[in-house]
C-alpha cells in the first residue's frame, strides 16, 4: 500500500464509499463528485499510522456503524480506525494541519556502522541545523532546528515531531540527509523506512500540538 499514489488512494476511497452504501454527499453541477478531502497527501513509499480525511454526509447513524461499514470495504493495509463528528464551524483537516510526527527506522541490510543513538542525539542537540532549501527558482539557507519540536531516539530508531502544512512542511528525509552530511556520509535513497505516526493541529501559534482527532467527537 505504501506505493499507492495519492490520486489512486482518492479513487480507492470513492469506490469504497459507493460499495459501503454510506450516505455521503455529492457536489452539485454537471459532474457531481463525493465531498471528501485528505488532510495531507502522503508521499509514495512512506508508511502511516495516522491519516485523516474529511467527508460531508447527508445522514449518519453512529461512529461505530460508520467504521464497520467503511472498514468492511478496505483492502489489506488500510484500516478505518475512528470516525468523529466536527462542529459546523470547524476548519477542515487540510487547513488545520500544523505538525506531523514520524518514526525513522533503518531498512533491513542498511544498519549503521556507528552508534546511531549517540550521534543522532549529538546532532539534534545543536543550536542550529542549517540546510539549503531548494525551490524551482532559488536556493536559501534554512534552520531545521526551528521547525523540530520534539525528538527521541532509541537504538536505531528515531522519532521526530516537526512543522507541517501549507506554510512550512518538514520531511523526515531532510533531517536524515542533514544528519548524514554532518557525519561526512551519504544518505542513500533506501537507507531508511519512514512512518508518519500522526498529524497535529494547534489552537494558537504557540499552543500545544493536538492530534487532529481531538477536533471532533464520536457520535451515537
How high is the pLDDT of residue 91?
87
How high is the pLDDT of residue 205?
81
Q: Measure the N-to-C terminal CA separation of the chain; round to a whole number of Å.
A: 31
- Per DSSP bridges, beta strands 36-38 and 210-211 are unpaired
Mean pLDDT, residues 143-148: 96
CA pair distance 54, 74, nearest whole angstrom = 17
The three-state secondary structure class of 120 is: helix
- Check pLDDT > 80 for residue 135: no
How high is the pLDDT of residue 163?
96
How high is the pLDDT of residue 134?
78
pLDDT tens digit sequence for 87-129: 988 888 999 999 999 999 999 999 999 999 999 999 999 999 9
Mean pLDDT, residues 6-16: 96
Residue boundaries of the structural domains of the chain: 6-94+210-215, 99-201
Mean pLDDT is lowest, of 92-101, 134-143, 161-170, for: 134-143
- Check pLDDT > 80 for residue 136: no
How high is the pLDDT of residue 207?
86
Residue 156 has which C-alpha cell? 536505531
Mean pLDDT, residues 147-151: 97
**Helix H or strand E segment including 98:** none
- Check pLDDT > 90 for residue 171: yes
- Please return the burial class of 163, using the count of CB atoms within 10 Å of its CB with bins 0-12, 13-18 and 19+: buried
How high is the pLDDT of residue 167?
86
pLDDT tens digit sequence for 29-62: 899 999 999 999 999 999 999 899 999 999 999 9
φ, ψ (nearest 5 deg) of residue 91: -75, 150
Cα-trace Rg, the chain: 20
CA pair distance 148, 175, nearest whole angstrom = 9
pLDDT tens digit sequence for 172-205: 999 999 999 999 999 999 999 999 999 999 988 8
How high is the pLDDT of residue 122?
97
Amino acid at each position: 500500500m505504501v506505493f499507492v499514489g495519492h490520486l489512486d488512494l482518492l479513487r480507492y476511497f470513492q469506490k469504497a464509499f459507493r460499495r459501503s452504501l454510506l450516505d455521503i454527499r455529492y457536489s452539485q453541477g454537471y459532474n457531481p463528485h463525493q465531498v471528501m478531502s485528505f488532510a495531507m497527501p502522503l508521499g509514495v513509499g512512506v508508511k502511516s499510522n495516522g491519516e485523516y480525511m474529511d467527508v460531508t454526509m447527508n445522514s449518519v447513524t453512529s461512529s461505530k456503524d460508520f467504521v464497520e461499514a467503511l472498514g468492511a470495504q478496505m483492502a489489506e493495509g488500510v484500516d478505518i480506525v475512528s470516525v468523529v463528528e466536527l462542529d459546523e464551524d470547524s476548519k477542515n483537516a487540510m487547513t488545520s494541519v500544523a505538525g506531523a510526527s514520524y518514526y525513522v527506522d533503518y531498512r533491513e541490510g542498511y544498519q549503521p556502522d556507528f552508534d546511531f543513538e549517540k550521534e543522532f542525539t549529538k546532532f539534534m542537540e545543536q543550536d542550529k541545523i542549517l540546510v539549503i532549501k531548494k525551490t524551482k527558482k532559488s536556493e536559501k539557507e534554512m534552520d531545521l532546528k526551528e521547525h523540530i519540536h520534539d525528538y527521541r531516539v532509541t537504538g536505531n530508531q528515531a522519532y521526530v515531531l516537526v512543522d507541517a502544512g501549507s506554510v512550512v512542511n518538514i520531511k523526515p528525509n531532510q533531517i536524515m540527509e542533514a544528519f548524514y552530511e554532518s557525519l561526512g556520509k551519504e544518505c542513500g535513497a533506501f537507507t531508511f523506512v519512514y512512518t508518519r505516526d500522526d498529524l497535529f493541529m494547534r489552537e494558537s501559534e504557540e499552543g500545544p500540538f493536538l492530534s487532529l482527532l481531538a477536533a471532533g467527537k464520536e457520535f451515537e
